[in-house]
Amino acid sequence: MAKMEFGELDQYLFGQATHYDIYKKLGAHPVTQNGKSGTYFAVWAPNAEDVSVVGEFNDWDPERHPMKKTGPIGVWETFVAGAKVGDLYKFCIRAMDGRLLYKADPYASWSEMRPGNASRIADITGFKWGDAAWMKKRKETDPRRAALSIYEVHPGSWKKHPASEADPDGFYSYRELAHELADYVKRMGYTHVELMGIAEHPFDGSWGYQVTGYYAPTARFGSPKEFKYLVNYLHKNKIGVILDWVPAHFPKDAHGLAEFDGTCIYEHSDPRQGEHPDWGTKIFNYGKNEVKNFLIANALYWIEEFHVDGLRVDAVASMLYLDYGKKDGQWIANKYGGNENLEAIEFFKHLNTLILGRNKGTMMIAEESTAWPKVTGDVEKENGLGFTFKWNMGWMHDFLEYMKLDPYFRKFNHNKMTFSMTYAFSEAYILVLSHDEVVHLKCSMINKMPGEYDDKFENLKAGYSFMMGHPGKKLLFMGQEFGQFQEWSEARELDWYLLREARHQQLQDYVRDLQMMYKKYPALYADANGYDGFQWINADDADRSIYSFIRWSPTKRNNLLFVCNFTPVERKDYWVGVPQKKQCKLILSSADPAYGGQHHVDNPVFKPVKGECDGQPYHVAYPLAPYEVAIFAFN
């Protein structure tokens, strides 16, 4: 094999932020050179006095394997004969002020299991993928027109083995997760899983949002190839995989990116630009090409090397606004005097154009909590940021505020459930009920609901039904599908034992059937139709806290009528207006006895009769049960 080196072309591309497979050069790569097996190491440390690699292969001795600086860009490299896959290592960096810094490899594909913080030599090549059918279909699919119902999962706490002395954490391995998660997700009808905390992170309590190993699937659950097994197995079971991705900030851990070579090469040196005061973390310097290259190549790495279907980009607002979470004097305005981070804006445009252009059918999802315009707008045509989807935080806030209310007071807050339709198609949205809503004393979803025990379940079924009918893709955090009472904690598994109780099992069954309905009817996911696909029948019935609306299919076949009663009051004489004299078939009711309700319907077919109601020429008479959401199909 030819000698591996960081050549002139590598340096040029890295300096231009266009070395999109930089991870194949920087980091640790098992190779054979001059007939000797070993590992090629390379690290970017432009301001270091000198650098060496230390590890299990040289007794962690900084004198044994010094590295050579190649060219002006500041990459150091060496080949170590005998360094093999599985060996632990770090870079020993002598800063210009004489300090010795022992740093984990920013481009490592594998890390030591915490509390250790060394990198581990890995070989991620040679995995035999079996997901060709999934990958072909993905390339041919427009995510905005496809069903997308996401199960948000924290793998370390979804399920656990009983703790033991040999295994105090009880983590499932990637392989175990693959099989159990695939079975569950298929049974429940979700289309995708979104996995939290996959990139290596030292502190479990950060849930993976303070990353030290951007290129390393966490060692908590196994090796990089075992993570590939998880993705491959989910794909073979027709389940997509989305990862949380955190380019907004990184922690100050001594082995991490902060002051990597004794100077601030990944972050701004001025704390007004380079630190989040509230989070105690560092902010990437999006104006530095080598930093942009690190992040852009990292996104490509997960999608192209691990076949991941999309990235949910965390804390986008904190990147877009220079003054995010900062007081006067804690931030520096841009060159025009504004608070927009111009470098982050260009970073997103570059990132999203590249990722989605090279990988048709994948998704870039923004967790963006402000009214920043055109987050999902086209970069060239609309000067947008180019994301595929944006989390709808406004809908989430209004929806939860309404659902928490005692039903008597809902009539005074009726617009909380209708306001979101004024902007529902201003972006390509995902409706989210995520982990953030069930921690830090916010209560689990079931415990947000008002009333006694049974009332909580009826309220939650009604809420989930409204969410499924509202335009936008869907996301629900694990445990909320069966009504977990405790707030989520990363330290324990979900309360699966609750499924021995009838109400929890009935709620889980209802969520399953909601999702099966969602996937069956394009009216619920063909959001590209915009307002042509949604019609209020009655958005103003505040006194009774009832909402009715139609979701129109693109073909005008298999349309759906939703009637949602958010009070415990029965409406035996309820009429709902319909625009056509087409019979309506009840396909799902939250009040069905199968889901713990009390409303048995003998004949599910209802014929409209002539007579104005809700501004429509026809109406259907349907006795509406307390807290019932009734969903009808018509052609």
pLDDT tens by residue, 100-120:
999 999 999 999 999 999 999
Q: Is residue 574 part of a domain?
A: yes
Q: Is residue 179 part of a domain?
A: no
Q: Considering the chain, what percentage of its residues have pLDDT values greater than 90?
A: 97
* Catalytic annotation, pick one of 200, 314, 458, 628: 314
- pLDDT computed for residue 215 by the predictor: 98
367 tagged catalytic? yes
**Alpha-carbon distance 326 to 240, whole Å?**
37
pLDDT at position 253 over 90: yes
Question: What CATH number should be reported for the domain holding residue 610?
Answer: 2.60.40.1180
- pLDDT computed for residue 3 by the predictor: 83
CA geometry: angle 610, 535, 437, nearest 5 deg:
135
Q: What is the average per-residue pLDDT within 73-97?
A: 98
Report CA 251 to chain centroid distance, whole Å: 20
Q: What is the average per-residue pLDDT within 29-48?
A: 97
- Listed in sequence order, the residues at least 6 apart from 464 whose beta carbon sits closer than 8 Å to its beta carbon are 476, 510, 511, 514
Instruction: Give the residue with greater pLDDT, 307 vs 531.
Output: 307
**Alpha-carbon distance 196 to 206, whole Å?**
10
Q: Is residue 515 part of a domain?
A: no
- Which residue in 287, 258, 292, 263 sits closest to 275, CA to CA? 258
Residues 560-599 have pLDDT tens digits of 999 999 999 999 999 999 999 999 999 999 999 999 999 9
Q: Is residue 128 part of a domain?
A: no
Choose one of 99, 120, 141: the last residue of a domain. 120
- pLDDT computed for residue 556 by the predictor: 87
- pLDDT computed for residue 483 by the predictor: 98
**Alpha-carbon distance 192 to 474, whole Å?**
10
Q: Is residue 461 part of a domain?
A: no
DSSP letter for each residue of 462-513: HHHHHHHHSSSEEEEETTTTTT--SPP-TTS---GGGGGSHHHHHHHHHHHH
**Alpha-carbon distance 546 to 538, whole Å?**
8
Residues 7-29 have pLDDT tens digits of 999 999 999 999 999 999 999 99
Q: Is residue 178 part of a domain?
A: no
Q: Which of the residue ranges 2-6, 441-445, 449-453 would you say has the lowest mean pLDDT?
A: 2-6
314 tagged catalytic? yes
Q: What is the average per-residue pLDDT within 84-95?
A: 98
- pLDDT computed for residue 2 by the predictor: 64
**Alpha-carbon distance 254 to 212, whole Å?**
10
pLDDT at position 1 over 80: no
Residues 603-632 as b/e (b if ≥16 CB within 10 A, e otherwise) read eeebebeeeebbebebbbebebbbbbbbbb
pLDDT interval class at 6 (50, 70, 90): very high
- pLDDT computed for residue 530 by the predictor: 83
Q: How many domains does the chain contain in total? A: 2
Q: What is the average per-residue pLDDT within 495-500?
A: 98
Choose one of 68, 88, 120: the last residue of a domain. 120
CB 539 within 8 A of CB 564: no
Tokens of 482: 């069966």
* Catalytic annotation, pick one of 105, 152, 367, 427: 367
The single-letter code of the amino acid at 6 is: F
The residue segments making up the domain with residue 592 are 524-634
Report CA 331 to chain centroid distance, whole Å: 29
Indicate the helix (H) or strand (E) that contains 460.
helix 453-469
Q: Across all residues in the chain, what is the average pLDDT?
A: 97
In the beta sheet, which residues pair with residue 149?
474
Q: Is residue 562 part of a domain?
A: yes
Which 3 state secondary structure label does DSSP give 514?
A: helix
Tokens of 47: 């301001």
- pLDDT computed for residue 371 by the predictor: 93
Choose one of 120, 145, 169: the last residue of a domain. 120
pLDDT at position 169 over 70: yes
Question: What CATH number should be reported for the domain holding residue 66?
Answer: 2.60.40.10
Q: Is residue 282 part of a domain?
A: no
- pLDDT computed for residue 561 by the predictor: 98
Place of tokens 């007794």: 59
pTM of the full predicted structure? 0.96
pLDDT at position 234 over 80: yes
**Alpha-carbon distance 440 to 577, whole Å?**
43
Q: What is the average per-residue pLDDT within 254-279?
A: 96
